[in-house]
Amino acid sequence: MKYLKIAILFIGITSFAQGKVGAADIEYIVTQMPEMEQVQAQLQLYAGQLESDLNKKLGEYNELRDAYEKSKDNLGEAALKEKQAELIEKENDIQKYQQNGGRLMELKQQEFMRPLYSKIVTALNKVAKEQQYTYITQINQDMVYLDPNYDVTEAILEEMGITPTETTGEE
């Protein structure tokens, strides 16, 4: 049994060693895509719409609160409780809207970015096949060192027809 485990480990290491491994900086590629300007503009427009809606809700709340303050001395107990319940409901609505705003922005960003990532995946697959890579990982801040010979970022950009506007900082 012990020898079987060693044999399987050896076969796994041998088969992995025969593969060609590369890495790509996907976030850098995204920043180089001309479509990013449009995505940023769409996100800013959406953020403006969310802020406008929030300001509208705040305005409605302020009007309701001012009306309550002016009329609270003239209201009966039941009407007073009803107005207070309305105010509490508006406050809760505003709080929920603020909490969901971040999530809504995140979802909208994912929606806008999906076509960009799709283009990257298509180019990455083509580069991987042409250059016979068996595995390509994503470059991230956890990587301490990467031999530039295994970095396929520039090849992917070239496949996409993009000329980088800044250096990757790997020099």
Give residue 166's pLDDT.
Answer: 64
Higher pLDDT, 72 or 160: 160
Domain ranges of the chain: 20-159
Selection from 158, 155, 156, 154 nearest residue 168 by Cα = 154
Tally of residues, the chain: 171
Q: What confidence tens digit (pLDDT) does each residue in 51-93 have?
A: 999 999 999 999 999 988 888 888 888 888 898 899 999 999 9
87-134 tens-digit pLDDT:
999 999 999 999 899 899 999 999 999 999 999 999 999 999 999 999
Q: DSSP code of 134?
A: S
Alpha carbons 163 and 154: distance in angstroms, whole number? 9
Whether 167 shows a pLDDT value over 60: the answer reads no
Would the pTM of this model clear 0.75, i.e. be above it? no
| Encoded tokens for 119 | 């283009």
Of the candidate CATH numbers 3.20.190.10, 3.30.910.20, 3.40.980.10, 3.30.450.20, the domain formed by 20-159 belongs to 3.30.910.20
Which residue spans within 45-171 are E strands per DSSP? 135-138
